Structure 1
């Protein structure tokens, strides 16, 4: 039983690594597209005009031919200036990236709804088709047909969205390490930029870009292993039944008990009158966090005329927070909007940084394409360390789950999970402000430090986001809530293109004020961990006092 779960996780990790967030490798693809000549007509025209004017103004010289042969490999100041001034090509490629990344974030909500309603198999078949189409469209594109980049990038990123939504469910197969698995998959999702790095390395080695993309399209057929053999057609139940099997020779997979449905997770029901009362009790059994629902039937005393004296109900740790009894109540809660602000600001910053990285490096390297290529490779390789560092975010989240409770109670509760998320929520805000500040330094060697900070940022940012949503809101709304957050974030990320034009047209190619604004906005996102920490501490203190008072009252009786 353990081996089939490990195989499922391994295949899910490979799927996420090679087909998840491929768009994050955009700097590598931009290098290839510029070299091939995508949207380069205006650049060539401006270069020809500059060279023609330089030739007409130069005095005739009989030895000019030899001089040109000597200096053929040395980039002239004229060529460098033409490269740096080719704003139309940079803007056109940036627009492709902006549209693709925004569509990716828009797709989180419909993909979340599709996954919640139709299950795993339908969603996985859909993303297989989308990834196949995306690779084919980009492969068939050319400088004469650059418009094919748009549908290719859109299909590829939409399929990658479905990949990560489906594969996060694999964490349910490892109940005691669920957060670690989710954060590890999120780390691999960010490391999917290795696909474009492989294409870049193969292109520099002599292979054509279409050939590599057609091979990648063919490899999408391997996604059917998890789709039709290992994973269920609907959903993996949660809490996981003890005898749950992914592959069964006879019969069906066991489903979750009706009294342990995800609908009862993270909420309490306090019912008036003659209705029954349901109360979720969390307990630790080994390292497995299990949830049970205890139903307290109304007694005859409650049904009588003296029903005003109700039987005392066990103290609920969620009685001091809004009850998330519907999707609407989740959307209109303060934690939802705090998480949305945190997600939108930080994602806009990192996506803008990735989109303009080639532009920044070209500016710092004075147009030297060899230096830009070298730094782009270093950046992508640095980001690949997220494969190893991905589980670190989960370990930070679960750092207190294996030891004794620090709140004086025998078992962990709802607020302990929220408090454990506050530190990994604060780290991305600080790291994002730090690398935004480093990009202000006009020294290309210093950007190695910015590359490392972006790597650590993504480890905590992409991993902690879904974990905090899962910790606060009911599991049955997870796909829709997380999808709404990422979709609204997509609307915010549309600002990256006008910000880029603002730098080009009105700030004289100087991103100083823009990066200062990003750093300040990043620090504002510290509101989320601070708000969650203070509210969870306050309500946990009330719950402990209520629990102690109840125990003292029972002892007197």
Structure 2
């Protein structure tokens, strides 16, 4: 692998931690905002849980911020997926970087009196971060023999970005003003901008005849700069001569490679991908799992306040520790999938069959974790639920991404990813409706039993994969 490729992969993981999935560390930031008095002006009366004053309006407002942010994160997949596939990496990342930078700037000027700014700011952070994740998944082409492992590693670091809001809480508890923290993050948002033009391809990763990635990133910037200088220094005739030599040849090579790629992708068009039963079972699998996930995130503080009201701060910190560790646990499922692909079957077994076997094992493990998570919440096992969450969060999101990347052409990845997560986002709107019913602990149990039944039905996805494996 080249130095450029190595830097692209390493900095992608760092970007995931700093700027991608920070919204899922919401419980840590929520506690800081509660201490600052955000949304408290709408509380006519408040009850004390440890050192935090809360009321029903206060809690529902925080939950609504999180719900809208995660829903926007998911439903933005269709437009961003189209932009990514149609206009390339730089265009989609420029939009994502702008949303990220502008959001932190909004938070830097926010105060308890302007708490409404939390809604657009968190939505932009969530949406921008998701698109950064999508753009980094394509780097799997740099390490084709370990695709599953890399996809899960990227998703794992995406999960671990909850460390950002946790560090906010630690810094705030040590006397650093919240506005100063947001200002620092606004400055740090320059990093994704630099990666966009220095370490990411203008369009998509292109492979040459040897299977290695063609030059991209900084080389494309230098090429554009050189063309600009040449065009400004020569006449119209000399420009035609220049365009007919090396640059024209390189353009012709790129066009021919694109044509070859498009001819291969005609074998499985976007329309045929959308007609695949496995695409829809994967979509249902995400919808159910994501609803279970965001309901756990959004109701976590309320759940803890019902069973351990004096230890809210402790369990909020423990929640952050667990999700930070998800970055270490995430590659496990990817490694399992790669091992199954490599060693299952004999020399007569096709590559596609081995790949499907790996995907089956991966989705089956994820489905079992989903069931166990529901059971631990029902029996009020806080430690058990957090341990299962450590694996389930990364296995679910990474598994869905890996399934799309492995089972369908990468040229359609952005749009298929967008449609899948759009549906998941709409379905997760139920989370807010469910949250409004759990103020009573009995109703909380009823909701979790309902989610358990729905999660069992989602096993249709690994079942369909198994059927296809047996047919092959």
Deviation of the 1:472 alpha carbon: 2.3
Alpha-carbon displacement from aligned partner over 1:485-535 (angstroms, at most 9, x marks no partner): 10011100111111111223xx56641011111122112111101111112
Q: Secondary structure at the match of 1:361?
A: helix
Q: Deviations over 1:42-74 (max 9, x none)?
A: 44x324xxxxxxxxxxxxxxxxxxxxxxxxxxx
Tell me if structure 2 keeps the 8 A contact 1:392–1:459.
no
> How many angstroms apart in 1 are the aligned matches of 2:325 and 2:272?
39
The residue number in structure 2 matching 1:113 is 82
Q: Deviation at 1:473?
A: 2.1
Q: Closer, same or farther in 2 for the Cα pair 1:465/1:163, shift >3 Å?
A: same
Matched, 1:478 2:413: yes
Q: Report SS of the residue matched to 1:206.
A: coil
1:355 aligns with 2:298: yes
Q: Alignment partner for residue 153 of structure 1, among 106, 117, 122?
A: 122
- Find the aligned partners of 1:412 and 1:216 in 2 and give their Cα distance: 49
Q: What corresponds to 1:314 in structure 2?
A: none
Q: How does 1:427-506 map to 2 (within 5 A)?
A: 427-442=365-380, 446-504=381-439
TM-fit CA distance, 1:81: 10
Partner of 2:153: 184
Provide TM-score, normalisation by structure 1. 0.75
**Alignment partner, residue 228 of structure 2:** none
Cα separation, partners in 2 of 1:459 and 1:83, compared to 1, 3 Å: closer
In the alignment, the residues of structure 1 paired with residue 64 and residue 58 of structure 2 have an alpha-carbon distance, to the nearest angstrom, of: 10
The structure-2 alpha-carbon separation of the partners of 1:80 and 1:123, relative to structure 1 and needing over 3 Å to count, comes to: closer
Q: Is 2:12 aligned against 1:12?
A: yes
Deviations 1:203-226 (A, max 9, x none): 111111111111111111122332
- In the alignment, what sits opposite 2:276? 333
CA drift of 1:163 comes to 0.6
Structure with the larger RCO, 1 or 2 (CA within 8 Å, 6+ apart): 2
* Contact 1:42 1:89 (C-alpha < 8 Å) held by counterparts: yes
Change (3 A) 1:512 1:222: same
Residues 366-407 of structure 1: CA deviation (Å, up to 9, x unaligned): 2x2xx211111111111111222222121111113444x615
Query: Higher helix share goes to which structure?
Result: 2
Distance in 2 between the 1:90 and 1:237 partners?
Answer: 48
Pick from 452, 460, 464: which aligns with 1:527? 460
Secondary structure of the 1:363 match is: helix
Is the contact made by 1:344 and 1:492 (CA closer than 8 Å) also made in structure 2? yes
Q: Give the C-alpha shift of residue 328 in structure 1.
A: 2.5
> What RMSD, in angstroms, separates the aligned Cα atoms of the two structures?
2.4
Q: 2: CA distance between counterparts of 1:433 and 1:138?
A: 37
Match status 1:423 vs 2:361: yes
SS in 1 for 2:463: helix
Taking the aligned partners of 2:111 and 2:138, their CA distance within structure 1 comes to 38
CA shift in 2, pair 1:79/1:338, >3 Å? closer
Q: Kindly tell me: are residues 401 and 337 of structure 1, through their superposed partners in 2, closer, same or farther at Cα, counting changes over 3 Å?
A: closer
Tell me the alpha carbon deviations over residues 447-471 of structure 1, each in whole angstroms, 9 at most, x when there is no partner: 1221110011122111111111122
| Residues 142 and 212 in structure 2, CA contact (< 8 A), matched pair in contact too | no
- Secondary structure, counterpart of 2:148 in structure 1: helix
Measured at CA, do residues 147 and 79 of structure 1 come closer, stay the same or move farther in structure 2, by a change above 3 Å? Answer: closer
Question: Quick check: 2:205–2:214 contact (8 Å CA) kept in 1?
Answer: no
Moved more, 15-24 or 508-517: 508-517
TM-score where L is the length of structure 2: 0.87
Give the distance between the partners of 1:537 and 1:441, measured in 2 at CA.
38
Distance verdict in 2 for CA 1:362–1:473, change over 3 Å:
same
Q: CA contact under 8 A between 2:50 and 2:312: conserved in structure 1?
A: no
Tell me by how many angstroms 1:243 deviates: 6.3
Q: Is the 8 A contact 2:66 2:298 kept in 1?
A: yes
Give yes or no for contact 2:207–2:214 (8 Å, CA) kept in 1: no
Matched residues in 1 for 2:172 and 2:350: separation?
A: 53
- Contact residue 428 and residue 458 of structure 1 kept, 8 A: no
Aligned equivalent of 1:406: 345
Q: Which runs of 5+ in 1 are unaligned?
A: 48-77, 269-323, 541-557
Residue 238 of structure 1 deviates from its aligned partner by: 5.2
Within a 5 Å distance, the mapping from 1:282-321 to structure 2 comes to: none
TM-superposed CA distance for 1:86, in Å, is 1.5
Q: 1:14-163 residue pairs with structure 2 within 5 A?
A: 14-43=14-43, 45-47=44-46, 79-80=48-49, 86-163=55-132
